[in-house]
């Protein structure tokens, strides 16, 4: 009889939730032919009229410009904060669980549209130094929270390009991470990836390694499948590499989400819809659409602003962008994709980012580790520095490298608990009470009634949510609940109608 024990797997060694190792089948493709594109575009043009109506009511900025509503208050407005201030009086939730974000700020080259601070090129030594600092930062979190390991509800590793580490560094990162982060109850382990690092023999090894450690969902930055647009974006891959990467990831059993940008210089309605239609026929689980943001919404301004200043004739107008977005939504619907979480379209209700859902809809506590990462802990929020030297220095001195943050007042909290979930899915009364101690049907009543009258919001005992028209202008509706100091544009940028964001701002009205 052979009494030798089978060697321990990586998942067993770190106690990784076995559910993370299950392969995910994509939903079967629908047997529908192409839609009538002319009719689809004609219908989509209705959104321009909607924009004019909602602009006249004061909801949308007069020019149609937008400001992404991602956090409340917006993070660029935060004052300095230390780790002691962040954690004063803070206790982990009763089950000890948090969602965990890990940031790897390295890329091959800087994409024209990108507003993130990253280090470029191989940077072998710098990456090793960073990984070491990252692990120390995780230890500091454990010490400060009084735990041996951080218990993860879900994980997102983002960047930068987190797969732009050598295979050896990638394994070192995963080993260090899984030692310090308990994945035994983790519901989803996400990675944000770029196409080039996933193809060829090295790409296959990288994908197999990610699966070994329980990574089960990938977000691939595809951005476009049009070769000319990809060049204008300064991407280091063409359509073929992106398509190959998507196939490899699906074959390897991941849940696959692919990201695109619309409104980019050089895009036309036709070449954009060609890309969306191609994407719909790949059979991926999720498709995510971003409207191009030209102005930075953090500290680093991407090159795209300069590009648009030099070639304004290439940039689609705001009206053209509305038609691009609406016709893409209709194209996606034709192929069975509905908006599951805001901007993310899937064909099954259960295909979505658990991390994004927990952060934006349920608003569970979340810890961010690594340069530029943010932590959101019940009524407080902190950002890690964007500067590498500051990052290393703080960790060397035994501190979390956060440099800005905010502790919300009860009124801020009452706004925050509407802004994020209304933007991303819906506001549930029980969750609202858990986060604020307040009854949803007693707050912002004048505001909510005005939004309902305009046809952009609806409410029943289950939830407060946006209508399809409201969902189209979700950022602007979320900003209706901002306090005056945090509305992104000054009063003169909005018409003085019933939905001017500076009206009906009181919590109790
Ligand atoms: C945090 S970024 C990381 C992307 C990843 N490193 C990549 O390029 O593959 C996530 C997504 O935001 C979108 N994005 C980045 N910059 C943008 C901008 N200026 N405007 C609109 N969307 C943008 C892109 O679709 C990108 O894939
Ligand atoms: S878009 Fe992604 S790959 Fe491009 S520079 Fe930014 S973080 Fe790096």
Is residue 33 situated within a structural domain?
Answer: no
* Number of residues written out for the chain: 509
Distance between CA atoms of residues 5 and 3, nearest Å: 6
The residue nearest atom 26 of ligand 1, judged by CA position, is: 221
Residues at CB less than 6 angstroms from ligand 1: 111, 113-115, 158-161, 192, 194, 221, 223, 259, 261, 290, 292-293, 302
Q: Are residues 287 and 203 in the same domain?
A: yes
The H-or-E segment that residue 382 falls in is: strand 380-384
CATH code assigned at 229: 3.80.30.20
Spell out where 201-314 has E strands. Answer: 217-223, 255-262, 286-291
Buried b (16+ CB within 10 A) or exposed e, 108-119: bebbbbbbbbbb
pLDDT of residue 4: 66
Q: Are residues 332 and 451 in the same domain?
A: no
Is residue 387 situated within a structural domain?
Answer: no
The string of DSSP letters for 243-276 reads HHHHHHHHHTT-EEEEEEEES-TT--HHHHHHHH
Write out the two tokens for 448. Answer: 């909510």
Is residue 419 situated within a structural domain?
Answer: yes
pLDDT of residue 5: 73
pLDDT of residue 70: 87
pLDDT of residue 297: 73
Residue 332, phi-psi category: left (phi > 0), alpha (psi -120 to 50), beta (remainder): alpha
Return all residues near 250 (Cβ < 8 A) that are at least 6 apart: 26, 256, 283, 284
pLDDT of residue 3: 57
pTM reported for the whole predicted model: 0.96
Q: Are residues 201 and 346 in the same domain?
A: yes
Domain boundary among 338, 360, 382: 360
Q: Could you list the residue range(s) of the whole structural domain that residue 440 is in?
A: 411-509
Q: Are residues 339 and 420 in the same domain?
A: no
Q: What is the pLDDT of residues 285-331, one digit of tens each?
A: 999 999 999 988 777 889 999 999 999 999 999 999 999 999 999 99
pLDDT of residue 136: 98
pLDDT of residue 65: 85
Residue ranges of the chain whose pLDDT lies below 70 = 1-4
Ligand 2, closest atom to CA 234? Answer: 4
Residues at CB less than 6 angstroms from ligand 2: 107, 110-111, 114, 116, 118, 159-161, 194, 221
Number of domains in the chain: 2
Q: Are residues 346 and 436 in the same domain?
A: no
Distance between CA atoms of residues 292 and 272, nearest Å: 13
Q: Are residues 298 and 419 in the same domain?
A: no
Is residue 405 situated within a structural domain?
Answer: no
Q: Are residues 327 and 455 in the same domain?
A: no
Is residue 37 situated within a structural domain?
Answer: no
Q: How far is the CA of 196 from the centre of ligand 2 (A)?
A: 12
Distance between CA atoms of residues 164 and 236, nearest Å: 13
Is residue 201 situated within a structural domain?
Answer: yes
Pairing mode, if any, of strands 402-407 and 426-427? unpaired
CATH code assigned at 462: 1.10.10.920
SS3 assignment for 38-65: HHHHHHHCHHHHHHHHHHHCCCCCCCCC
Question: Which of 114, 199, 263 to mutate to test ligand 1, by most ligand atoms within 8 A of the CB atom?
Answer: 114
Domain boundary among 360, 375, 403: 360
Ligand located closest to 287 CA: 1
Q: What is the pLDDT of residues 194-206, one digit of tens each?
A: 999 999 999 999 9
pLDDT of residue 301: 87
pLDDT of residue 402: 97
Is residue 485 situated within a structural domain?
Answer: yes
Domain boundary among 319, 339, 360: 360
DSSP 3-state of 330: helix
């Amino acid at each position: 009889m052979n009494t030798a024990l089978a060697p321990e797997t990586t998942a067993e060694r770190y106690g990784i939730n076995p559910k993370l190792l299950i392969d995910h089948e994509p939903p079967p493709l629908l047997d529908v032919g192409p839609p009538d594109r002319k009719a689809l575009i004609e219908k989509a043009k209705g959104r321009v009229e909607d924009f004019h109506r909602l602009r006249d009511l004061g909801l949308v900025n007069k020019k149609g410009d937008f400001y992404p509503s991602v956090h409340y208050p917006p993070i660029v407005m935060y004052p300095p904060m230390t780790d002691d201030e962040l954690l004063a009086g803070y206790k982990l939730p009763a089950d000890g669980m948090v969602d965990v974000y890990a940031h790897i700020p390295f890329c091959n080259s800087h994409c024209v549209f990108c507003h993130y601070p990253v280090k470029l090129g191989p940077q072998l030594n710098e990456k090793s130094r960073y990984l070491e600092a990252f692990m120390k930062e995780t230890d500091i979190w454990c010490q400060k929270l009084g735990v041996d390991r951080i218990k993860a509800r879900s994980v997102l590793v983002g960047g930068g390009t987190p797969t732009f580490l050598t295979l050896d560094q990638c394994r070192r990162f995963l080993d260090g991470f899984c030692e310090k982060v308990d994945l035994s109850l983790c519901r989803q382990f996400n990675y944000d990836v770029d196409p080039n690092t996933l193809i060829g023999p090295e790409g296959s090894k990288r994908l197999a390694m990610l699966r070994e450690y329980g990574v089960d969902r990938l977000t691939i930055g595809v951005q476009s499948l049009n070769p000319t647009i990809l060049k204008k974006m300064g991407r280091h891959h063409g359509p073929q590499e992106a398509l190959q990467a998507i196939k490899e990831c699906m074959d390897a059993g991941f849940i696959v989400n692919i990201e695109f940008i619309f409104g980019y210089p050089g895009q036309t309605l036709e070449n954009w819809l060609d890309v969306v239609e191609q994407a719909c026929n790949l059979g991926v689980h999720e498709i995510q659409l971003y409207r191009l943001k030209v102005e930075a919404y953090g500290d680093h301004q991407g090159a795209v602003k300069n590009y648009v200043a030099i070639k304004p004739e290439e940039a689609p107008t705001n009206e053209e962008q509305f038609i691009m977005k609406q016709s893409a939504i209709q194209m996606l619907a034709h192929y069975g994709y509905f908006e599951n979480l805001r901007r993310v379209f899937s064909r099954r209700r259960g295909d979505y980012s658990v991390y994004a859902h927990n952060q934006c809809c349920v608003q569970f506590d979340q810890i961010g580790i690594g340069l530029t990462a943010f932590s959101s802990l019940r009524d407080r929020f902190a950002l890690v520095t964007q500067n590498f030297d500051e990052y290393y220095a703080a960790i060397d001195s035994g501190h979390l490298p956060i440099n800005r943050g905010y502790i919300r007042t009860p009124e801020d909290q009452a706004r925050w608990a509407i802004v994020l979930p209304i933007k991303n899915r819906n506001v549930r009364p029980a969750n609202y009470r858990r986060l604020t101690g307040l009854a949803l049907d007693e707050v912002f009543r004048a505001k909510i009634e005005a939004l309902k009258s305009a046809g952009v919001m609806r409410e029943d005992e289950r939830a407060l949510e946006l209508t399809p028209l409201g969902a189209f202008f979700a950022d602007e509706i979320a900003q209706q609940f901002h306090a005056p100091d945090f509305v992104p544009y000054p009063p003169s940028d909005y018409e003085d109608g019933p939905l001017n964001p500076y009206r009906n701002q009181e919590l109790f009205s």
